Structure 1
Amino acid sequence: MAAAPSMAAAIAATLPAVSTTPAPAAPTYEAIPASMSKAIDIEADIPLTSVQLDGLVVSKIIKHSREAQGGNAHGLLLGLDLDGTLEVSNCFPLPHHFNEEDDKSIKGVAKYQASMLRSLKEVQADDSIVGFYQATTLGSFFSQSLVETQAIHQERLRHGGVVVVHDISQTARGNASFRGFRLTKAFLDAYKRNNFSTESLIDHRLTFSTIVEEIPLRVRTNALMSAFLDTLATSSPSPAGAAPSLASSTTALPPSYSVLNLGGVGVARNLEQIVEAMDAYKTEEGNLGYLQRQIAREKARAEGYVMKRKEENATRVAQGLAPLPEEDVSRLFKIPPEPSRLESMLLLGRIGAYAKSVEETSSAGLVKMYATKAGNGA
């Protein structure tokens, strides 16, 4: 029975295929002016240096992340790479697949993606995929699915695409957190070889901190969105002749007191996540240790068999007999391959992200507590 395709593989089926047709010897179109040659960058020679998110994209991602359950919000980014800047002008969410092994669910998501891209093209909107976004909590975004999807994007898209990570917990505290990442060349090379053994990690100098590289990200707002936000922030005027009331004097946006929150609940949840990640890492290391012991036992049995055969052949030669033929040890002893340490690296990345988040939250909470203590005159 054939295994169900992965979610990233199903999504990759709708991405543009890498062109293998040779370029014509003599172009028949008009040459690009020298002043526009760098900006257009047809051959994708200009390296990607930054990511620019439109204000509409930011609002869509925040809205989707709030409506989705937990960190399940993810979708595709659409736009254009221009003069070393990846300009993201639109995005749309993808439905959440509850079962990674459900072939019907995976095909449904891929069909939905293809339908959305076709509809955007019909209305002459941006339909070029430049990456995807992923909602996360407490800064931890390392996962097998994210790595697999980004690896496919970096292989199929022009500039490799980016993954934009939105931290929901930071947004809840009043700080809209958006960061852009790409897989490093060393990690991508090891991923293509499907080799994350200890020797491979040493050769590629891979740790959990070198899985991805961050790309500078900025947000651009247009005049229409700025005007809309201004109407929300300004107070609504009271009708002529009417006495000013409390409702008319307040602003359209209710005041936020998130900065006054000491963050005690968030720290407790953060510590719980660290404990869970540490337990998962300990379990993974235990499994790796068990597999390493199995490999060592099989290698010892194979080496013992080879030494015994050499002694028998030496004895037969001394007796004037023909030596026994050498047998393939790999057929007699099935030595398991060295286990992959990718999951351990991802778990260490999660632990590092949780630790950094709790450090930032606790330090800010301590400052607020001392400020509160000083304000009360204690």
Structure 2
Amino acid sequence: MASRGNLRRLTEMAESRIDYVQCDGLAAMKIIKHCHEESTRNMEVAQGALLGLVVQNRLEITNCFPFPKNDELMEEEEYQLAVMRRLRRVNVDHFHVGWYQSADVGNFLSPSLLESQYHYQTSIEESVVVIYDTAKSSRGFLTIKAYRLTPQAIMMYKDDEFTPDALRTLKMGYESLFVEIPVIIKNSNLTNIMMSELEEMIPEEEGTKYLDLGTASVLENQLRCMMDRVDELNQEAIKFNRYQHMVIRQQQDKNRLLAKRAQENAARAAKDEPPLPDDDINRAMRPIAVPLRLIPMIAAGQINTYSQHISQFCAQSLAKLYITQSLQSAKESKSSN
């Protein structure tokens, strides 16, 4: 269980040395390209390494490269070291500052993500995980977010103490696992000039899909994913309730045996015989292992993420429907005149 000293130490720790993440436009485009290729080709999660450097209170991401797939012969660690050695030879930033992963409508919270970020952040203090949402970006909402583990989450994962008592002591919930770091995409002046020229070359009738009403499939996918997470959280709640019932039953059995042993010792005392010890009862009634609350915390955090996405998505969809209804009414009144 987390001690008072650990709790005091956590309150004195700084949340993060990094105030914001600055990502070069080229690195962001490489992340976007890799994530969309993996999602359209074989529906797998895209992952890769982030390269850059720390300047004062910001983390600059200047380059990135994808991780090798499982079917490739080279080991992942060997591949990363080889790529960084080659980048160093051509005078490119080769310092490892984190990793990135693709997501589908905010579906990124998982035990594997927590474990990977824990290993990154304990070995590289300034490292972040960048999440790119392919589904939302394909609907016209560019979503690139950076996260870091909180000091509480690092300490609890290190001690493997995601027990109810430890969570209650630290007053920790799913919202305390990660902290979001603002992301800024920066381009060079020449890139901004080229983008301005390309924007002028796009015809006015193209690139305007802001009133796209084909949103039923996206909303259905989000609701289906949230139902799956609710079912998972319900199963975890059933397991915890079963554990509580087992603890109560065990305590009742132990009290009954202790009462019986007390009666036996009273009878032996009347006969001037030595009392029987209670050690055998304590050995027979061993404590039941407390189920860890990490999986329920992740499921609750994922449900919260889906709820926020659905709320935002429904508000935008309703606004589009009201706009199209007004346009349709104006068109009908104009045609009738």
TM over 0.5: yes
Aligned in 2, Cα 1:331/1:125: closer, same or farther, shift over 3 Å? farther
1:328: how far off? Answer: 5.3
Letter aligned with residue 148 of structure 2: R
Considering only aligned residues, what root-mean-square deviation do their CA atoms show, in Å? Answer: 2.7
> Are 1:259 and 2:210 an aligned pair?
yes
Pick which of 79-88 and 111-120 moved more. Answer: 111-120
Which residue number corresponds to residue 86 of structure 1? 59
**8 A Cα contact 1:298 1:334, kept in partner:** no
> Are 1:180 and 2:146 an aligned pair?
yes
> Are 1:168 and 2:134 an aligned pair?
yes
1:30-41 aligned within 5 A: none
Pick which of 224-233 and 186-195 moved more. Answer: 224-233
3-state SS of 1:376 partner: helix
Which residue number corresponds to residue 25 of structure 1? none
Give the TM-score taking structure 2 as reference length. Answer: 0.84
**8 A Cα contact 1:180 1:216, kept in partner:** yes
Which residue number corresponds to residue 48 of structure 1? 18
Q: In 1, Cα distance between the equivalents of 2:278 and 2:97?
A: 56
Matched residue pairs, number?
313
Of 82, 88, 93, the residue aligned with 1:126 is 93
- The CA deviation string for residues 50-81 of structure 1, in whole angstroms up to 9 with x for no partner, is 11111111101110110113460121111111
1:227: how far off? Answer: 4.4
Q: In 2, Cα distance between the equivalents of 1:196 and 1:330?
A: 26
Q: In 1, Cα distance between the equivalents of 2:180 and 2:89?
A: 34
Of 124, 139, 150, the residue aligned with 2:117 is 150
> Are 1:210 and 2:176 an aligned pair?
yes
Structure 2 residue runs without a partner (length 5+): 1-13, 333-337
Letter aligned with residue 319 of structure 1: K
Give the TM-score taking structure 1 as reference length. Answer: 0.75
**8 A Cα contact 1:182 1:215, kept in partner:** yes
Of 120, 135, 142, the residue aligned with 2:102 is 135
1:213: how far off? Answer: 1.2
Aligned in 2, Cα 1:177/1:254: closer, same or farther, shift over 3 Å? farther
1:1-378 aligned within 5 A: 47-69=17-39, 70=43, 72-97=45-70, 108-159=75-126, 161-230=127-196, 232-235=198-201, 251=203, 255-262=206-213, 263-327=215-279, 329=281, 331-377=283-329
| Higher fraction of helix | 2
Aligned in 2, Cα 1:230/1:254: closer, same or farther, shift over 3 Å? farther
3-state SS of 1:355 partner: helix
1:93: how far off? Answer: 1.3
- The CA deviation string for residues 248-296 of structure 1, in whole angstroms up to 9 with x for no partner, is xx65x99334312122221111111111111121122222222333333
Aligned in 2, Cα 1:224/1:361: closer, same or farther, shift over 3 Å? same
1:305: how far off? Answer: 3.0
Letter aligned with residue 32 of structure 2: I
What fraction of aligned residue pairs are identical, expressed as a percent?
29
1:367: how far off? Answer: 0.6
Aligned in 2, Cα 1:208/1:328: closer, same or farther, shift over 3 Å? same
Letter aligned with residue 217 of structure 2: V
Structure 1 residue runs without a partner (length 5+): 1-43, 99-103, 236-249
